[in-house]
Amino acid sequence: MKDLYLVFKNLTRKKMRLFLTLFATFIAFTIFGTLTAFQKAFDSGVDLAADDRLIVVNKINFTQVLPISYVNRIAAVDDVEALTHLNWFGGYYQDPRNQMGMFAVDAENFLDVYPELLVTDEERESWFGNRQGLIAGESIAKRFGWEKGDRIPVNSNIFSKRDGSTSWDFDVVAIYQGEEEQTDTSSVYFHYEYFNETQSFGGDFVGFIGLRTSDPSRNEAVITEIDDMFANSPAETETVPEKAFNKAFLEQIGNLSLILTSVVFAAFFVILVIVGNSMMLSIRERTAEIGVMKTLGFTSTRIFRMVLSESLLLALLGGVLGLLASRLLVVLVNEAPIQLPTLVVDGRVWTDALLFMIGLGFVTGIVPAVNALRLNIITALSRG
Amino acid sequence: MSDEILFDLKGVSKEFVKGKETITVFDGLDMSIASGDFLAIMGPSGSGKTTLLNMLGGVDQPTSGEIWFDGSRIDSLSESQLAAWRANNIGFIFQFYNLMPMLNAERNVELPMLLTRLGRSERKKNIAAALELVSLSDRAKHMPKEMSGGQQQRVAIARALVSDPKLLLCDEPTGDLDRQTANEILTMLQTLNRDYGKTILMVTHDPAAAKYAKRTLHLDKGEFVEKDLAA
């Protein structure tokens, strides 16, 4: 503790250098915090997917439809506990740029298959009793300013109604919340019957089927039974765990994880060079002072600890400020009117960041600290 | 000056290897410093003054021979043991003051006490006493760059004194000062020796400075020639 004052005074002796080094570290950890939040948000679709949930899609690809008759046949398979079907609607609100994840679903069973979408019993009943009712996630409701009880027009960029229009009217009956902070609340769900009866593309088809099994250990057996059931039919199925489905979906965009990790590491590499160089320079300038301290009786290991503490303190200070900035940035992004998953700078990001800060402090401080440790007093004083 | 021997050098040799050449600075040097002595060491450049000072201060070790301090042998101590020994027994005063530029006067004086178990309040008391002794109480909060050379050297003397060492080692303490300020500093050292019983060893080029010492040893090619200036 006695040395902390010396560490602090050494750190702050050149204000401009301290500012620039802190700023570089700050930027690196702002990038780290923000991009990690993005990565976690995209990964959350995979991470939060239920282990006992399976997705049944057309084997050709998931944009091809399945006959609605499959629903009852799959429901009869052993160990299928609950089942619903979903159709991508291609909905947008007011402007084609306001695209949203909107699905026509089997409302009666939908919330049993996706229990992480939280509505009250009253809202659930209200939805079941209103064929034009829709439930909207809180983030999309916030984005468009919807409130429970609103009647809203929604257009589809895929389907048209039998009267030729592309606009459907809906009653917002519930704003659902997510069970977890990162549960997706940017989607909208409405009755399949309303969709099926009003759209003009023919009927009785579903986009894909979501189901829950009695136990994740039964997944493989259920998958085999379903896919075997429809083998050699005009619409063969491919049944996959939800995690795998979401992962494959994300991979269509590209290897986001690799891209984000590369950006973060590039930022850290630059910071490593900047901070490392700054620390080396700073200690080199203090050679004579280190010699004096050793002469007075400060041991080499104590000076080693002080130099290392200095670089750790620098990394922690810049890093914590950077992470706080990324938290602020994430709040702003979450509140912005754009379609993105909920970003969170949570405890895990903080833990990872703290490990990076300690690593950065150690890597940038170890060489100057070892140099200070090895510094011979006579050599040091002669450089003064 | 008492008869008690504080430093005793027995057959000390010191060699440096420079490339393929071995330079012998001392070859079997014997020397004693009594407790309470004020000894000036003079000599031409390369005579070994600084090497001797470094060995006495425990920052350099002899190639062979023995160095005894207050009844204990110090030439065989480890680096960390020597660091502790220096902290407990030696006060250093350098030619260029060597104050920490980011610390004010009282924090500079406090440095050696960070190596002790003294609490903050006790340290503050000792700092005040040391600064009082060098007549710089009113400059306690001043940074080194805000003080003259003489004032900085007085802070350095306060730093050397604050942990009450047995020996003050001064390396050209007035080499960077004008004559009047140099005289003030030397008078202060003389007072510390005479009134407070501090043993002082001072390396200097300046014969006028050496006159403040009780005795002067002239070092030439690693050997002493003694002249008693007090006589």
Q: Looking at this protein, which amino acid is placed at residue A128? A: F
Q: What is the pLDDT of residues B98-154, one digit of tens each?
A: 999 999 999 999 999 999 999 999 999 999 999 999 999 999 999 999 999 999 999
Going by C-alpha positions, the residue among B54, B53, B26 that lies closest to residue B40 is B53
Residue numbers of chain A with a pLDDT score lower than 70: 45-46, 48, 253-254, 336-341, 384
* CB nearest B79 (choices: A6, A12, A300): A300
What pLDDT sits at residue B230?
A: 46
Whether this prediction's pTM lies above 0.90 is answered by no
Residue B91: φ, ψ to 5°:
-110, 130
Query: Radius of gyration over alpha carbons of chain A, in Å?
Result: 29
Q: Looking at this protein, which amino acid is placed at residue A379? A: T
Instruction: Find tokens 């009880």 and name the residue.
Output: A149
Q: For chain B, where are the alpha helices, taking DSSP H only?
A: 49-56, 79-89, 105-110, 120-133, 149-161, 179-196, 207-210
Q: Mutating which of A14, A290, A295 best tests the B interface, going by the most B Cβ atoms within 10 A? A: A295
Nearest chain B residue to A289, by CA:
B100
Mean pLDDT of chain B: 91
Token couple for B136? 């710089």
Interface of chain B toward chain A, CB-CB under 8 angstroms? 54, 57, 59-60, 79-80, 83-84, 86-88, 92, 94, 96, 98, 100-103, 107, 111-112, 114-115, 159
For residue A151, the cross-strand partners are A171
Instruction: Find tokens 């004008």 and name the residue.
Output: B178
Going by C-alpha positions, the residue among B88, B93, B51, B52 that lies closest to residue B70 is B88
Determine whether the interchain pair B92/A296 forms a contact, defined as Cβ–Cβ distance below 8 Å.
Answer: yes
- Is the alpha carbon torsion for B85, B91, B94, B96 positive or negative? positive
Q: Are B142 and B104 in contact (CB under 8 A)?
A: yes
What pLDDT sits at residue A254?
A: 67
Q: What is the pLDDT of residues B154-198, one digit of tens each?
A: 999 999 999 999 999 999 999 888 999 999 999 999 999 999 999
A-chain CB neighbours of B79 within 8 Å are 299-300
Q: b/e string for A265-280 if b means 16 or more Cβ within 10 A?
A: eebbeebbebbbebbe
Determine whether the interchain pair A301/B94 forms a contact, defined as Cβ–Cβ distance below 8 Å.
Answer: no
What pLDDT sits at residue B229?
A: 47
Other residues' Cβ atoms within 10 Å of the Cβ of residue A81: 15
Shortest distance, CA B98 to any CA of chain A (angstroms): 7
Averaged over B66-74, what is the pLDDT?
94
Shortest distance, CA B39 to any CA of chain A (angstroms): 21
Q: Looking at this protein, which amino acid is placed at residue A368? A: P
Determine whether the interchain pair B96/A384 forms a contact, defined as Cβ–Cβ distance below 8 Å.
Answer: yes
Determine whether the interchain pair B59/A377 forms a contact, defined as Cβ–Cβ distance below 8 Å.
Answer: yes
Q: What is the pLDDT of residues A81-109, one digit of tens each?
A: 999 999 999 999 998 888 889 999 999 89
What pLDDT sits at residue A342?
A: 72
> Chain B within 8 Å of A384 (Cβ-Cβ)?
yes
Residue B46: φ, ψ to 5°:
85, 5
CA dist A110 and B44 (Å) reads 98
For residue B217, the cross-strand partners are B41, B226
Going by C-alpha positions, the residue among A253, A265, A327, A250 that lies closest to residue A43 is A250
CA A6 to chain centre: 42
> Chain B within 8 Å of A294 (Cβ-Cβ)?
yes
CA dist A155 and A92 (Å) reads 5
pLDDT band for B2, please (50, 70, 90 cuts): low
* Complex confidence, ipTM: 0.91
Nearest chain A residue to B84, by CA:
A297
Q: Looking at this protein, which amino acid is placed at residue B95? A: Q
Q: Taking each helix axis from N to C terminus, what angle separates A300-335 and A2-11, rounded to the nearest 10 degrees?
A: 60
* CB nearest B83 (choices: A289, A294, A378): A294
User: Kindly report the CA angle at B200 between B199 and B204, in degrees rounded to 5?
Assistant: 165
Looking at per-residue confidence, does B33 or A48 come out higher?
B33
Residues 6+ apart with CB under 8 A from A163: none
Determine whether the interchain pair A5/B87 forms a contact, defined as Cβ–Cβ distance below 8 Å.
Answer: no
